[in-house]
Structure 1
Amino acid sequence: MNTYENYNFDSHFQELFEKLSEFFSEKSYSIDKKGENIKAHQVYSFDIEVNNIIIDYLTQSIKIPMRIISEESEEVVIGEKEPELTFVIDPVDGSVNVNRGLNIFSFGIAILQGTEQLSVNFVIASMVGNLLTNEYYVARKGCGSYCNNEAIHASKRTDPKTFMFNFELSHLIKKDFPQFFDIIPEIHQVRSLGSAITALSLVARGGIDAHIDIRNRLTIENILPASLLILEAGGIITDSRGNELKPTKNLKTPFNIIASGNRTIHSWILKKINV
């Protein structure tokens, strides 16, 4: 039996959520620019601070050989033995929102079995924290998804006239997605939150019916933390062709994704965008 199989990650997730809630509630963090990360994206001081809080907590609290991967720092390996787990973290998903004073952002952690491939299929537990709404999401493979300790379920809607979708529009080129303008009139509402993890967690709880990001810009740390939430809540996540997301070994591989509350929604979207 592996060390982690009966390990209770939930208590650690909750403690970490409380630490980060306290950090942001004090509003004393800096929004100074700190250069670029490994993906050549702008990094702010608060990105680094949150990243350090998460890594320090994990290294001090979880006594399992592991490696930690983040877009904001070098890979960290903990323990003398071969790592059993990989922690993929996105410290602040929605950094530009924070910098502009828009409180739409989340942090996410995915725990994967093994250390080679970063894949939705290898996620065994995950956490997402929405600090604006004080919502704390957790999932464990085969055990369902929860928000603030209550079970959540993805959307059961099937009528397009009732659908609310989140589209990520920044850097989207019209010629790459002309179908976008055909979809909008047929559904009820559209949002563009600027935080993939926030949007994906809302798909998991049924708040929005689908999240569509086909800009070929999303990377795996933006996807993994909420992917298990969606799957355990009864939803679906694929690429823009309806195929399983391919494994990757780094945080630079770009993805297009569609995440939906149920197969009816997913099939409707795929039919619309793949014409």
Structure 2
Amino acid sequence: MSENMDEEFKILAREIIKKIDRKIRSTIKKEPYKLAKTIDIGADGTPTKYIDKIAENVAIKTIKNAEVSVDLLSEEAGFIDNDGEYLFVLDPVDGTRNAMRGIPFFSVSLAIGKKKLSDIEYGIVKNIANKDEFIVEKHHGAFLNKKPVVIPDMPSSEILYSITLGKNKEAFARYLTFPHTLRCFGCASLEMCMVATGALDGYIVSHEHIRVIDIAASTLFVREAGGIVTDIKGKTLEMMLNLDERVSIIAAGNPQVTRSIAKNF
């Protein structure tokens, strides 16, 4: 385990994930008609859906009742200062649209750090739909359901990308002509974890769209599994832990894949 982080912080993170998972599953079962209801505008400036708010409220309550003090950065509430030693970076529901429409690909993502993306020491991404749990600890590896994850080698003829191109129509047109198979799943945290497991060879967001809450845990997961996370130009990705910044992203299994993607943008 990390020499720099007390176990109690990791225990708290796992407790938050467990409680959010339980709350969302219960709501989907008992009150599915409420999931898509817009109830507010979040700290990031986007509409707050009922499903996001109830998940975030679970985290806030759990942190408030915890024996350790931690700060929180979350999609709806923004930054909550509890004079904590660490900052918990939370996306209470990544893939909200998937969850609202019954598409079984959405997650809760939580990372523990201090000021910037490279500070992240521990992270959890939980696929709420199928219960897969991705846990990572800096310098100690990435794990899927407690089994070590290392990015496998894949032959170039089998390259599979998940890609979000936004308004970059020229790049989109170019990619349609390439001998690659393309997907778009709508859940950044899980898509990046799929790069780490080898289910995907690359995850691409060509425009400045991604927030740190989306990828704080999964960036460390990819890197600990042996992969690379950069911006769309191939520069090592770094972000401050706040809601102000949005970035492009390439997550890939090796430098060759990163270069082949970056040269097209």
TM-score > 0.5 by shorter chain: yes
Secondary structure at 1:39's aligned position in 2? coil
Aligned-residue offset at 1:62 = 5.2
Q: 1:172 aligns with which of 154, 163, 167?
A: 167
Cα-to-partner distance string for 1:242-261 (whole Å, 9 max, x where unaligned):
11223335213110000002
Report the identity percentage.
23
The aligned counterpart of 2:190 is 198
Change (3 A) 1:5 1:19: closer
Q: Is the 1:168–1:193 Cα contact (8 Å) retained in structure 2? A: no
Change (3 A) 1:59 1:206: farther
The aligned counterpart of 2:249 is 257
The aligned counterpart of 1:127 is 124
Aligned-residue offset at 1:201 = 1.3
Cα separation, 2, equivalents of 1:249 and 1:235: 21
Query: Does structure 1 residue 248 correspond to structure 2 residue 240?
Result: yes
Q: 1:76 aligns with which of 77, 80, 83?
A: 80
TM-score, normalised by the number of residues in structure 1: 0.86
Give the AA of the match of 1:21: D
Cα separation, 2, equivalents of 1:39 and 1:12: 25
Aligned-residue offset at 1:178 = 4.0
Cα-to-partner distance string for 1:4-31 (whole Å, 9 max, x where unaligned):
5242544444433332332233223422
Query: Does structure 1 residue 47 correspond to structure 2 residue 52?
Result: yes
Cα-to-partner distance string for 1:89-131 (whole Å, 9 max, x where unaligned):
111111111122212111111111x3xx332x11111111101
More deviation, 9-18/101-110: 9-18
Query: Does structure 1 residue 37 correspond to structure 2 residue 42?
Result: yes
The aligned counterpart of 2:98 is 97
Q: Is the 1:66–1:86 Cα contact (8 Å) retained in structure 2? A: yes
The aligned counterpart of 1:150 is 147
Q: Is the 1:10–1:138 Cα contact (8 Å) retained in structure 2? A: no
Q: 1:67 aligns with which of 66, 71, 76?
A: 71
The aligned counterpart of 1:19 is 19
Q: Is the 2:135–2:144 Cα contact (8 Å) retained in structure 1? A: yes
The aligned counterpart of 1:7 is 7
Cα separation, 1, equivalents of 2:51 and 2:233: 36
Cα separation, 2, equivalents of 1:69 and 1:14: 16
Secondary structure at 2:65's aligned position in 1? helix
Cα separation, 2, equivalents of 1:267 and 1:35: 41
Cα separation, 1, equivalents of 2:202 and 2:75: 26
TM-score, normalised by the number of residues in structure 2: 0.89
The aligned counterpart of 1:211 is 203
Change (3 A) 1:12 1:136: farther
- What CA RMSD, in Å, does the superposition of the two structures yield over aligned residues? 2.2
Cα separation, 2, equivalents of 1:62 and 1:210: 40
Q: Is the 1:155–1:207 Cα contact (8 Å) retained in structure 2? A: no
Secondary structure at 2:177's aligned position in 1? helix
Q: Report how many aligned residue pairs link the two structures.
A: 259
Cα separation, 2, equivalents of 1:154 and 1:172: 31
Aligned-residue offset at 1:53 = 0.8
Query: Does structure 1 residue 140 correspond to structure 2 residue 144?
Result: no
Give the AA of the match of 2:149: I
Secondary structure at 1:179's aligned position in 2? helix
Cα separation, 1, equivalents of 2:161 and 2:9: 31
